[in-house]
Chain A
Amino acid sequence: MLLLILLLPLMFLPGPLLLRHAPRWAVGLASLPPLIAFILLLQMLPTVMQGQVLLYQLDWIPEIGLAVALRLDALSALFALLITGIGVTVMYYAHHYFAGKPEAARFYTLILAFMAAMLGIVLAENLIFMLIFWELTSLISFLLIGFYGNKQISRRGARLSLFITGGGGLALLGGIILIGQVVGSYQLTDILQARELIQADSRFPWILGLILLGAFTKSAQFPFHLWLPHAMSAPTPVSAYLHSATMVKAGIFLLIRLFPIFSGHEAWFYWVAGIGVVTLLVGSFVAIFMHDMKGLLAYSTISHLGLITLLIGFGTHGALTVALFHLVNHALFKAPLFMMAGVVDKAAGTRDLRQVNGMAKHFPMLMILSFIPTAAMAGLPYLNGYFSKKLFIVESLNGAHTGMIATLIPILAILGAAFSVGYALRLFHNTFFNGQPVDLPNWPPKQPSHWTYVPLFFFAAACIVLGLWPELMLHGLIAAAANAANVSADLLIPATRAPHVVSYDLSVIQDHPWLSLISAVTFLGGLAMYSARKTLFAWHAKLPNLNAKDHFEKLMQKLIGWAQDAVHMVENGSLQRYVLYLLVAALIFTGWPLLGLEVWQGDLELMPVDAMTAGGIVLLAAMALAVSVLHHQRITALLFTGATGLFITIGFARFSAPDLALTQFSVEVMAILIMMLALSFLPQTSPHESSRFRWTRDVIIASIAGLGVALLSFAVMTRPQHSISGYFLANSVPGGGGTNVVNVILVDFRGFDTLGEITVLAIAGLAVFALTRNLRLKDRPNHQQNDYWNGFAESHPLFLRVLARPILPMALLVSAYIFLRGHNLPGGGFIAGLITAAALSLQYVACGIRWAHVRMLTQFRPLIGAGLLIAGTTGVGSLVFGKPFLTSWFGHFELPLIGEFELATALLFDLGVYVTVVGATLLILANMGRLMTIHGPGKEIG
């Protein structure tokens, strides 16, 4: 049942959005959940008022103590009734306020969501569960304040409110976690009984401070009250609901809820009562200076909240009762006042009290209906505000403290009451009387629909009823709520026993006959203040203008500026900077462990140096250096790069890697060819453009990198090896059927890697194809400068042309031989494929693209696909025989003339590799070469 109440608004949430074009239906649907919830709560009220506590529990994340736990006792019931009851009236009022405009639907949805969040706060039993809804209210309030998102004032007000209330929520999280750690549970039933435990803990000041921070930010207490006046840019229904009756009361609710664990502690009195009285005075004093009606009402709300906080700070049961009483009264007279402000705003077009005068003539009904809440606010007799004021003064006199504080608080309280009479007078008089209206945007003022007065009527009636018969509430719900709130160890009752309800004795008013004198003094004081208002306004106008919102915005902009600068320092779009960061990070992360190495040289004996190898290595190093020194002359650098590649080939051959040498050789040729082709389109020199600083920095980084790699490789090379290749060497012949272990590893043991490798090659080929597809030749740079050789040589020398033709079949023969012998001697699909590709590209180079195209197959992409297919099918084939993917098989066969030879399915796989390599390499080369043809790009090749 409790869960249902909580979920009701959420269930009806999408309703208004779907019905946005039928405003009556939308508002009807939106009003339904609060109405139903209200009725359900009323049904559960009798049980709860007797002191029973209804609980509901559903475990959510037990590890962190979070549970969907709901609790309904008299206190929660009071607040829940307030939330749902006022919610219904606000919905009704909003319907006429928005008058069918399309944004009304969004409004209803947001209000329903907010209602659910507020209900979550008051019904929560688990504190973390409550926090979720606490933050939700902040968020939804943000959305509602910024409802008119196109106005800057709305956006800024919303941002300020989110910042303050969100920050408070963070503090609250800290406080709750601390409580949970001290008590061991987040459930209220456990926490409320752990008063001594919490107060004795060393972290108690932190707990108190953080919880107070959370409550004060939400309830707009000094100095966090600044967000509330700036939240008045929200639509009036929002102000009437959130910022007078519900959301700002959430902090107060928290204070009352956690009252049992904090009560009796000195710090509680000083902090809560202290902040409360300051807020009360600040709010009521500033209110009268506000020229905006809603601003005045906002400050008035702040001061009333301060009053309630002050009463809670006293710490006595009586004060708590009065606090709750005033809380309800405040909601009952503040909401209709906001509604009145909204009506006047819509009718006259402005809310400025200096302009709106004499409205009594145009809206007599409104005047009568708003007289009652205003009078209640001021504390006139026979209205509920009267009792609030009286009891408040009584309680301030009853305080347990003696000395200066005992006299100071009542005086400040009376002062606050006087101020509130003053601003109430201002509001009423300046709106409805005080001469003629001045410069109204809407003239004559528009008559609001008479239905708008209905909620005002209800509120006025409630004020009168409570004024005439305060015991109705006071001895009923309020007493039960105060009881539920003040659950101290001796008063804690399990649901079975009858409660010990402490009713507030109203006869206390009769006990202090000079109370009437105090009331008279406050009235006179307020009247005097109002009469002197012109002088006061003049004085106020002379004061420096401190606008909190502007300061906040300036701070925000500065923060944003710093953040952007910081981001820009790291990520500014320059590739060079990213490379620099990458390199430096890599150097740090690899260099750090390296520094911990004690001995560089390991145990292995160093290999003896022979002159040839040494000379080769030195030459290789010199050439590598030459590349970086001469990199401005691009052709020279390219030639040196090619030379280093070829020398590395020799290095591989020297150090017992024949397959590697062959592969490196053929790859180097292809790579240099490609780079040469690209270079013809680029400028032939790199400009000298690096500053001295940059050059030095790069040299240093490069040297560190080189040093690190050299040390690391030396350290590894001289340490003994624990290799796993023993398996491969042992199983190459029996398992793979070949004596060339490297090739067997490639196509058999680790065939899947090779499959991936040819896929990468295929993708690169296709990417080159795509990139060169639409390349426009007329944008070719520096065509003139390319012709170094102009006049020196023909483009297709005769010698080469003639030789190229017989070379082709011989090359293909060699390629086939290398392919077939690969399994047993250095060779294999890669090398064979590269040899074929080299031979074919020789035809392109020697005789020209068009000549080659006419005579050669050019379906390179199907070729790539076929290669991948062959390799893949060979792998899948083994699945047919029930073995895992890519298991190879081999057998020995006899052929008449040739003798015994061995066949393996790995050969088929190698064939796939061969075909892919040929296809991809030729695709790349042919398309790059095509760019050089003078007669335009022509058809794409492949």
Chain B
Amino acid sequence: MEVLVAILLGVLTASGVFLILRARTFSVVLGLTLLSHAVNLFLFSMGRLHTNAPAVIGEAAQHADPLPQALVLTAIVIGFAMTAFVVVLALRSVLELKNDHVDGVNKNEEPI
């Protein structure tokens, strides 16, 4: 199972990194989303994989590691805040610069 999860993390990261290197703001936003998913999963997996062991006292005999879970929860919420911010920033830049290229201007392109 660890092998599969590791492969999954690799694929998520690769997709995210590839998209971040694109030239359009929306693609970069998608890439950031995927990358943050990958990072959250990575942090979560630091607590090692457990099944049927929720971190609730009294529900199970074994407990998964609650600390990475708490940290990832914080990360998810902050990631959401940053995603919203970046999306609106990209939107604003498109509407101001008439162009959704990452560098703000692409000489060969007609403005939107």
Q: Which residues of B contact A664 (CB under 8 A)?
A: 76
Q: Quick one: which of B20-76 are within 8 Å of A by CB?
A: 20-27, 29-31, 33-34, 37-38, 40-42, 44-59, 63-67, 69-70, 72-74, 76
By secondary structure, the A interface counts as: helix
Judge whether B72 and A660 touch: CB under 8 Å.
yes
A679 at the interface (CB under 8 A from B): yes
* Chain B binder among A57-65, A433-441, A508-516, A612-620: A612-620
Residues 722-733 of chain A: 1 if any B CB is under 8 Å from the residue's CB, otherwise 0?
011100110011
Judge whether A617 and B66 touch: CB under 8 Å.
no
A106 at the interface (CB under 8 A from B): no
Q: Which residues of B contact A589 (CB under 8 A)?
A: none
A706 at the interface (CB under 8 A from B): yes
Q: Which listed residue, A682, A733, A830, touches B73 by the CB 8 Å rule?
A: A830
A855 at the interface (CB under 8 A from B): no
Q: Which residues of A contact B77 (CB under 8 A)?
A: 663, 667, 757, 761, 830, 917
Q: 17 pairs across A/B with beta carbons < 8 Å?
A: A575-B103, A617-B4, A625-B15, A628-B14, A659-B69, A675-B33, A678-B87, A706-B9, A706-B13, A706-B14, A729-B63, A739-B59, A741-B56, A781-B95, A830-B73, A917-B77, A924-B88
- Given contacts A683-B112, A771-B92, A830-B77, is CB(A574)–CB(B103) below 8 Å? yes
Q: Bound complex: CA of A163 vs CA of B18, how far in Å?
A: 48
| Chain B nearest CB, measured from A615 CB (Å) | 10
A671 at the interface (CB under 8 A from B): yes
A782 at the interface (CB under 8 A from B): yes
Q: Bound complex: CA of A232 vs CA of B55, how far in Å?
A: 83
Q: Quick one: which of A737-756 are within 8 Å of B by CB?
A: 739-742, 745-746, 750, 753-754
Judge whether B83 and A781 touch: CB under 8 Å.
no
Q: Bound complex: CA of A703 vs CA of B11, how far in Å?
A: 8
Q: Bound complex: CA of A699 vs CA of B78, how far in Å?
A: 29
Q: Which residues of B contact A924 (CB under 8 A)?
A: 84, 88
Q: Bound complex: CA of A709 vs CA of B43, how far in Å?
A: 11
Judge whether A733 and B76 touch: CB under 8 Å.
no
Judge whether B11 and A621 touch: CB under 8 Å.
yes
Q: Which listed residue, B17, B44, B78, B91, touches A702 by the CB 8 Å rule?
A: B17
| Chain B nearest CB, measured from A214 CB (Å) | 49
Judge whether B23 and A613 touch: CB under 8 Å.
no
Judge whether B73 and A660 touch: CB under 8 Å.
yes
A506 at the interface (CB under 8 A from B): no
A689 at the interface (CB under 8 A from B): yes
- Given contacts A575-B103, A741-B57, A742-B69, is CB(A663)–CB(B76) below 8 Å? yes
A648 at the interface (CB under 8 A from B): yes
| Closest A-B pairs by Cβ, 9 of them | A706-B14, A710-B10, A764-B81, A714-B6, A702-B18, A781-B112, A607-B1, A706-B10, A628-B15
* Chain B binder among A121-129, A323-331, A448-456, A637-645: A637-645
A670 at the interface (CB under 8 A from B): yes
Q: Bound complex: CA of A180 vs CA of B60, how far in Å?
A: 74
Judge whether B17 and A701 touch: CB under 8 Å.
yes
Q: Bound complex: CA of A618 vs CA of B85, how far in Å?
A: 31
| Chain B nearest CB, measured from A835 CB (Å) | 14
A473 at the interface (CB under 8 A from B): no
- Given contacts A721-B48, A753-B74, A920-B81, is CB(A644)–CB(B10) below 8 Å? no
Q: Which listed residue, A573, A625, A724, A760, touches B67 by the CB 8 Å rule?
A: A724
* Chain B binder among A201-209, A772-780, A885-893: A772-780
Q: Which residues of B contact A741 (CB under 8 A)?
A: 55-57, 63, 66
Instruction: Kindly report which residue of chain A lies nearest to residue B111, judged by CB atoms.
Output: A781
- Given contacts A660-B72, A757-B77, is CB(A729)–CB(B44) below 8 Å? no
A651 at the interface (CB under 8 A from B): yes
Residues 637-669 of chain A: 1 if any B CB is under 8 Å from the residue's CB, otherwise 0?
110010011001001101111111001100100
Judge whether A579 and B21 touch: CB under 8 Å.
yes
A705 at the interface (CB under 8 A from B): yes
Q: Which of B38, B41, B48 has the most CB of A within 10 A?
A: B48
A475 at the interface (CB under 8 A from B): no
Q: Which residues of A contact B48 (CB under 8 A)?
A: 604, 717, 721
Q: Which residues of A contact B41 (CB under 8 A)?
A: 648, 651
A495 at the interface (CB under 8 A from B): no
A131 at the interface (CB under 8 A from B): no
| Chain A nearest CB, measured from B24 CB (Å) | 5
Q: Which listed residue, B1, B27, B112, touches A631 by the CB 8 Å rule?
A: B27
